[in-house]
Amino acid sequence: MANWEMQNLIAGRLTDAPQRAEIHDKYSGELIGSMPLATDKHWETAIASAVRAFERFRDFSAERRAGILQALYDGISARENEFIRLIVAEAGKPVGYARSEVRRALDNLSTGIRATLDYAGRMVPMDYLNGKGKTAYTLRIPYGPVLGISPFNFPLNLALHKIIPAVATGSPVLIKPAPQTPLTMGLVARILADADVPEGLVQIVFGTNEQAERAVRDRRFAVLSFTGSDRVGWHLKNISPARKVFLEMGGNAAAVVDNTADVERAAKKLAYGGFLYAGQICISVQRIYVFRSIFDTFTERFLAETARLKTGDPTDEQTTAGPMISAKEVQRIDTWVKKAVKNGARLLAGGKILDASHNLYAPTVLTDVRPGMEVLDNEAFAPVVNILPVDDINAAIAEVNRSRYGLQAAIYSDSYQNIRRFIQGVETGGVIINDIPGFRIDGMPYGGVKDSGLGREGGRWALDEYTQPKLVVLS
């Protein structure tokens, strides 16, 4: 196993620290590398550098900003296989899905480069009242330095969803990676250092949650962009003085299968969407509401598809559900499932720890779950799917909306009336028709409502989040 000894990127230089945090393979437990824990002095240097960078680089041409993103694209592309191996090891992500993350990251950068070159304000209609004879337009002005806090489950691509719009708009960005998976961003730090990116424009600082919280409270950051749990996200919003707070916080994604759906296709897609990467995706399938007339047929088919999925070594190309991120998370979901069963839920599959030494939890299917049970109400972030019967589309929509989350939802149907009603009625940031709620490409506007967050990621939608309009009127 490779030993990745990474460094922070602070004020344009790769930087070490007296203390290093060891990172272990999430499946084998083997030591795979370490990351320096930045000191408080390092954090202060990084924040001050970001402030200086904003004054220097806010007026970079779009061409020059796009060139920085192109250099990052070229660096990641040249080391694609190393990124794949690193993500498999430190995130426990199945190799096929890790490969998909790296390719999505490259597509994300390509989309960002195009958006950078195309991004502009808009003309403002003025030819009426006192505006007759005048011309007006808006410019998009960056708010200022960005603090980005990224999660463990997509250690490359979700950090890029903060870096790309920041660079595209001339906003210096400081990324604090997740403590479970910092090495991927350590490799990005090497690429940025080699590319001679302007000092302070992009910084990667690994540290404690306490240091990150102090940074959140720092008024020198104009934007906070956080991806993670809703509990942490809302806390950070409440303590942040930033002029713009952008939160992406996941959910407990629901899908509806009505009596006109292709049951076999729906069952196959939803099983994969529920158990891929052990359910550790913000939009993993967690709740499935099935019309009562096809409930038994669908459930039988779903259980058969679940049984076909392989759980195990993430380096195996056939693995769908690899390890969970830690032993603590395995114990948490095992406790949730056992509590649900004790309180009346019916276990249809799984419901046990497969291999504690490798952080493997069995793909689990429950029914007869009720509001108040953690497996239904909370974000499981684990290989657990609940299947419940509903009588009609109105009942299905009511159940989908019976959640404090609202990221994405899906419906499998050939009924125009049901699809139309679903689109209008569900309280989510995205609606997916005849595919899993986990469908995403990186240029689409992605984000949620309710406790799933604030703002949108992807393409020019993200650039809008990092900027504000300045009106110009010409007489």
Same domain, 416 and 470: no
- Asked if 141 and 222 count as a contact pair (C-beta separation under 8 A), the reply is no
Q: Along the 475 residues of the chain, how does pLDDT read in single tens digits?
A: 568 999 999 999 999 999 999 999 999 999 999 999 999 999 999 999 999 999 998 889 999 999 999 999 999 999 999 999 999 999 999 999 999 999 999 999 999 999 999 999 999 999 999 999 999 999 999 999 999 999 999 999 999 999 999 999 999 999 999 999 999 999 999 999 999 899 999 999 999 999 999 999 999 999 999 999 999 999 999 999 999 999 999 899 999 999 999 999 999 999 999 999 999 999 999 999 999 999 999 999 999 999 999 999 999 999 999 999 999 999 999 999 999 999 999 999 999 999 999 999 999 999 999 999 999 999 999 999 999 999 999 999 999 999 999 999 999 999 999 999 999 999 999 999 999 999 999 999 999 999 999 999 999 999 999 999 999 999 9
Assess if residue 447 is contained within a domain: no
Same domain, 366 and 308: yes
Angle at 149 between CA 144 and CA 152, to 5 degrees: 155
Same domain, 371 and 394: yes
Same domain, 318 and 420: yes
Question: What is the rounded distance in angstroms from the CA atom of residue 119 to the CA atom of residue 412?
Answer: 36
Assess if residue 326 is contained within a domain: yes
> Cα dist. 148→153, 206, 222, 229, 443 in Å?
15, 12, 11, 14, 19
Same domain, 233 and 126: yes
Question: What is the rounded distance in angstroms from the CA atom of residue 383 to the CA atom of residue 244?
Answer: 34
Residue written as token pair 């720890």: 353
> Cα dist. 61→115, 117, 142, 183, 417 in Å?
13, 9, 13, 32, 49
CA neighbor of 200 nearest in space, from 162, 175, 172: 172
Burial of 344 per CB tally in 10 Å (0-12, 13-18, 19+) = exposed
Assess if residue 188 is contained within a domain: yes
The pLDDT value recorded for residue 109 is 98
Question: What is the rounded distance in angstroms from the CA atom of residue 300 to the CA atom of residue 248?
Answer: 34
Residues marked active site are found at 248, 282
Q: Are strands 123-124 and 31-36 parallel, antiparallel or unpaired?
A: unpaired
- Residue 40, Cβ neighbours under 10 Å: how many? 12
Query: pTM score, two decimals?
Result: 0.96
Structural domains of the chain, count: 2
The amino acid occupying position 217 is: R
Question: How far, in whole angstroms, is CA 86 from its chain's centroid?
Answer: 18
The pLDDT value recorded for residue 196 is 81
For 49-65, b/e burial (b = at least 16 CB within 10 A) is bbbebbeebeebebeeb
Q: Which two tokens stand for residue 319?
A: 């693995």
Domain with 416 in it: 254-442
The pLDDT value recorded for residue 1 is 52
As a whole number of angstroms, the longest Cα–Cα distance in the chain is 74
Assess if residue 274 is contained within a domain: yes
Residue 193 makes CB contacts below 8 A (sequence gap 6+) with 9, 12, 13, 14
- Asked if 243 and 141 count as a contact pair (C-beta separation under 8 A), the reply is no
175 beta partners: 148, 204
Same domain, 430 and 283: yes
- Look up the CATH number of the domain holding residue 434: 3.40.309.10
Angle at 463 between CA 426 and CA 436, to 5 degrees: 35
Residue 443 makes CB contacts below 8 A (sequence gap 6+) with 107, 108, 111, 458, 459
Assess if residue 57 is contained within a domain: yes
- Look up the CATH number of the domain holding residue 208: 3.40.605.10
Same domain, 276 and 389: yes
The amino acid occupying position 440 is: R
Question: What is the rounded distance in angstroms from the CA atom of residue 21 to the CA atom of residue 26?
Answer: 15
Mapping DSSP onto H, E and C, the string for the chain reads CCCEECCEEECCEEECCCCEEEEECCCCCCEEEEEECCCHHHHHHHHHHHHHHHHHHCCCCHHHHHHHHHHHHHHHHHCHHHHHHHHHHHHCCCHHHHHHHHHHHHHHHHHHHHHHHHCCCCEECCCCHHHCCCEEEEEEEECCCEEEECCCCCCCHHHHHHHHHHHHHCCCEEEECCCCCCHHHHHHHHHHHHCCCCCCCEEECCCCHHHHHHHHCCCCCCEEEEECCHHHHHHHHHHCCCCEEEEECCCCCEEEECCCCCHHHHHHHHHHHHHHHHHCCCCCCCEEEEEHHHHHHHHHHHHHHHHHCEECCCCCCCEEECCCCCHHHHHHHHHHHHHHHHCCCEEEECCCEEEHHHCEECCEEEECCCCCCHHHHCCCCCCEEEEEEECCHHHHHHHHHCCCEECEEEEECCCHHHHHHHHHHCCCCEEEECCCCCCCCCCCCECCEECCEECCECHHHHHHHCEEEEEEEEC
Same domain, 332 and 464: no
- What are the backbone dihedrals phi and psi of residue 206, each rounded to the nearest 5 degrees, phi first? -95, 130
Q: Which two tokens stand for residue 321?
A: 């559900």
Same domain, 217 and 326: no
- Asked if 116 and 62 count as a contact pair (C-beta separation under 8 A), the reply is yes
Same domain, 38 and 81: yes
Same domain, 294 and 236: no
Same domain, 244 and 258: no
Question: Measured in Å, how far apart are the chain's first and last C-alpha atoms?
Answer: 67
